[in-house]
Amino acid sequence: MKELEVHIGNLRLKSPLMTASGTSGHSGEEMERLATSPQTKASLGAFVTKGITLQPRPGHPEVRIVETRTGLLNSIGLQNKGVKFFVEQELPGLLNFALPIIVNISGSTVDEFSEVASYLNNHDLSETISGIEINVSCPNIKRGGVAFGTDPKQVQRIVKAVRKRTAPRILLITKLTPNIADITLPARAAIEGGSDALSMINTLRGMAINVDTGKPLLGNKTGGLSGPAIKPVGVFMVYECFRKIEQCYKTEIPIIGLGGISTWRDALEYIMAGATAVGVGTAWFVNPNIFKSICNGIKGYVKKRGVKLSDLIGRAHDTKDDTMRC
Ligand SMILES: Cc1cc2nc3c(=O)[nH]c(=O)nc-3n(C[C@H](O)[C@H](O)[C@H](O)COP(=O)(O)O)c2cc1C
């Protein structure tokens, strides 16, 4: 599958497809069942875990998932058993995946992010972990619950703190929130903090109300919207970062695009906007063969046109736009 090979920093991916954090199961067993179907494994370039925090988190009250006409609303609340449990009970199984493993981490303070990263760094003796994806969409408890990701200074501090506690071989990806007017501000801050790559987008804030009861449908009242509805937002944000940030334009800082991808055409849209790789989440719930289907579609496209996938990265950018880039 050489024609689909891409590089994200020091990582060579046999395919540009990755799982999206939080959509690949919440126990080692579940992750294994979902991701080790031979077809899925053959089509994936990397596996991204659910979000891990320092201490176990029970998550938000039920109901946690609501289907809407155009996507999924979730308020899982980062339910997980903490980094110690993850390293002892789940990480060993991920070694069998024979795929680069990227661990998604979250925290409520800058110190919590760096402690999780440090724990992973110091306890991953078999070097199973290839990368850490820093989810900066979570609320900062020291700042009244405002999401870290909307404050570029905080983003830079988190990335810097995580970089300090992790070995240089570990790829650092910063996952950005779309709940902001100008995504290039936290993107630049992440790069300045030492991020090797960016991923975008996380879910968009949303809610749904049951008009019969007059009450919000989610136990947490509000949640994050994923799925087809958010794809144009994600494509735009990738396009903006690629166009306005020189390191992204040169693919020195690769972008992983995600949000609403459910066909190979969706994946190519992200790649043409400037993404080097793409993640798929919500669509995997609907179609267990999604990765194979997207992979085959992209393969067919590049074969028919006699191009390499890397030739398509940023294809949607008219060179006349160059003056607008920085
Ligand atoms: C049920 C669920 C749980 C999620 N958990 C996480 C998480 O733990 N960390 C994270 O960074 N993103 C999390 N996300 C966001 C996804 O990784 C992804 O960014 C988002 O859903 C958009 O992609 P999609 O439309 O393909 O699902 C979660 C999404 C869903 C639907």
Q: pLDDT by residue (tens digit) across 71-100? A: 999 999 989 999 999 999 999 988 888 899
Q: Where are the alpha helices (DSSP H) in the chain?
A: 28-35, 38-43, 82-85, 91-94, 110-123, 152-164, 184-193, 231-244, 246-249, 264-273, 282-286, 290-305, 309-312
Q: Which two tokens stand for residue 285?
A: 């719930």
Per-residue confidence (pLDDT) for residue 318, from 0 to 100: 80
DSSP state of 284: H
Dist. CA 21 → ligand 1 center (Å): 5
Dist. CA 226 → ligand 1 center (Å): 7
Ligand 1 site-directed mutation target among 282, 285, 287, most atoms within 8 Å of CB: 282
Q: Does pTM top 0.85 for this prediction?
A: yes
Among 261, 280, 274, residue whose Cα is nearest residue 47: 280
pLDDT at 326 over 60: no
Among 197, 210, 123, 117, residue whose Cα is nearest residue 158: 117
Q: Which two tokens stand for residue 158?
A: 């988190």
CATH architecture of the domain with residue range 2-59+77-207+225-324: Alpha-Beta Barrel (3.20)
Per-residue confidence (pLDDT) for residue 323, from 0 to 100: 46
> Rounded to whole angstroms, how far apart are CA atoms 109 and 146?
11
Q: Which two tokens stand for residue 225?
A: 């919207």
Per-residue confidence (pLDDT) for residue 97, from 0 to 100: 84
Which residue type sits at 2? K
pLDDT at 325 over 80: no
Is 92 strand, coil or helix?
helix
Give the residue numbers marked as catalytic.
138
Q: Express each pLDDT in 210-253 by its tens digit.
A: 999 999 999 999 999 999 999 999 999 999 999 999 999 999 99
DSSP state of 121: H
Per-residue confidence (pLDDT) for residue 3, from 0 to 100: 85
Q: Express each pLDDT in 256-309 by its tens digit.
A: 999 999 999 999 999 999 999 999 999 998 998 999 999 999 999 999 999 999
pLDDT at 55 over 70: yes
Among 44, 50, 51, residue whose Cα is nearest residue 18: 44
Across the chain, which distance is largest between two alpha carbons, in Å? Answer: 57
